[in-house]
Chains A and B, each alone.
Chain A
Amino acid sequence: MGRHIRIITESSIDKKEAKKNCQECQTPCRSACKTSMTVGNLVCEVKRPLGKWTW
């Protein structure tokens, strides 16, 4: 860890990731928002499969 900058979270996105697109994650405008779409809330179903509930 440096004195002037420290990593909090490292992205898991790399070049390989950029070519994925299995389309198995949810649509972003889920009912918990329904008026302000946010793709950032999406969970990758391959990395973390959701259970029976929507969230």
Chain B
Amino acid sequence: MDLVKRDWHPFSIQGEYFLFNSLGSLYQLDEEGAKAVESILEGNKDPHISEEVYREIEEVLAPYESVEIQTYDNLTLKSLCLNVSHSCNMLCNYCFTSHNLTSDGSLMSLETACKAIDFLIEASKDTKNIEIDFFGGEPLLNLDVVRDASIYGKKRAIESNKNLRITLTTNGLLLSEKNLDLLDKLEISIVLSLDGGEKVHNIHRHLINGDGSFEYILPNAMELARRRQEGGYYIRGTYTAETLNFSDSFKELVDLGFRYISLEPVVTSDKYLSIKQEHIPILREEYRKVAEECLKSDVKFFHFELPLEEGACLPRLARGCGAGVEYMAVTPAGEIYPCHQFVGHTQFKLGNIEGRHINKDLQEKFKILNSIDNKPICRDCWARYLCGGGCLANNFNINRNITEPYGVGCEIQKLRIEYALWLRAKRLEVKV
């Protein structure tokens, strides 16, 4: 039998052998089976492996054939990131907004926020599910606009027969019980930045006066978790070259009672903080430890939650994040960028909410780059339908070129997927 190499990924974890098909199937193999699969993928059957083994593998894998993906041009905007505040009450030394225009201190007016919501409602056309995300800076510094824009958005969504979901990303300093009451009432999902325990968190996440912020944020974060045990929040941490042992942070966060956790690699060109190729073996071990912790509990680690059976359809998986097309960011001044990470890099400014002018040529460039078929490296990668072709902003932040893949990011993505698949296999084993 012939297997198209780019559609299959054999891998082993802790002496166990697995085979992943890019369309979402996962198999476990014994050692002989793994050798047989490797030889099939290389196009040379191993004479030392019996025909019986090959027959068995062929029987299981035979139903697979390549699927032709239908691509679509009629994509609509469905998600807006509203940078309601370009001011922050913290000064974290790895923040991607610190070095550009997002730290100019400005706040979005309610008028601009409502115009942006009108733009989203109309540009989303027949798409029912739409999203806004309050981002910054620190969005709670502009709480009145968060409140009033949410109320306006919900009203407009009902009038337009749409389902609006709202998210807010916060450093947690202003997440008082009163503010949390409001966010609960408005059903706003919350992402709270917490890097781990006190020691790790305070390495990078400082108050304006330089003090660590952990002691001020933790009580608010714990109250959030207490209220939302069934979901509606994520604790999001960042690890850097200085804090590679993030599995310890994960355990600390679990011990503190958090059940929804996302720990992300920093994206920076800072030579002391950036993740480098030589860190990959360390990260592999760290993800292994996190996966083992997840196996012991019901904690959700964001990147290990791969809903293979209930995941998105193939045309969606074959596109990237939608930056510049399905997803855009709006600044306090009403400028439109392809996503929150491009804000302030004026060469990527797409337009302005006033007049709704969009630079169609620039948008077309993003549209093309959103398709994995247009990216040679991604097109032949086994992980393409789980990754979607990587983050264009990361490409820019690291390589100053949106078309040049961020190689270390690809490595992290792949090893993260392997452990997500391992975890899935182990969880199913436990269930049996």
Contact = CB atoms under 8 A, between A and B. Distances in A.
Contacts of B103: none
Interface of A: 2-15, 17-45, 47-48, 50-55
B53 A24 contact: no
Report the contact-size class of chain B (Cβ under 8 Å from the partner).
Answer: 35 or more
A17 to B, nearest CB: 5
Nearest to A29: B321
A18 B321 contact: no
Interface stretch (B20-28, B109-117, B349-357): B20-28
Interface in B242-278: 260, 262, 264-267
19 contacts: A2-B59, A4-B33, A4-B57, A8-B428, A9-B428, A18-B315, A24-B129, A29-B327, A29-B391, A33-B302, A39-B386, A44-B311, A44-B312, A50-B165, A51-B231, A53-B189, A53-B231, A55-B231, A55-B260
Nearest to A22: B313
A4 B234 contact: no
B316 interface: yes
Interface stretch (B69-77, B199-207, B212-220, B361-369): B69-77
Given A24-B129, A41-B303, A47-B309, 5 more contacts: A27-B79, A32-B262, A40-B420, A51-B231, A53-B165
A31 B128 contact: no
A14 B23 CA distance: 9
Interface of A is mostly: loop
Given A8-B26, A50-B165, A55-B234, A23 B70 contact: no
Interface-central residue, A3, A9, A51, by most chain B CB under 10 Å: A9
B341 to A, nearest CB: 7
B327 A27 contact: yes
Question: Which 5 A-B residue pairings sit nearest by Cβ, starting from the closest?
Answer: A40-B386, A4-B33, A39-B388, A11-B24, A54-B189
B424 A8 contact: yes
Nearest to A26: B131
B287 interface: no
A13 B314 CA distance: 7
B191 A32 contact: yes
A41 B307 contact: yes
B4 interface: no
Contact of B316 (A21, A34, A35): A21
Contacts of A7: 25-27, 60
Contact of B305 (A13, A14, A22, A41): A41
B310 A39 contact: no
Given A5-B33, A29-B339, A38 B387 contact: yes
B385 interface: yes
B409 interface: yes
Contacts of B319: 39
B323 A44 contact: no
A28 to B, nearest CB: 5
B387 A18 contact: no
Given A24-B129, A34-B191, A54-B131, A43 B27 contact: no
A5 B67 contact: no
B424 A25 contact: no
Nearest to B315: A21
Contacts of B129: 24-26, 45
Contacts of B67: 13-15, 17-18
B239 to A, nearest CB: 11
A27 B127 CA distance: 12
Given A18-B70, A21-B315, A39-B312, A8 B387 contact: no
B308 interface: yes
A31 B23 contact: no
A9 to B, nearest CB: 4
Nearest to B266: A35
**Which of B19, B26, B129, B312 has the most C-beta atoms of chain A within 10 angstroms of its own C-beta?**
B312
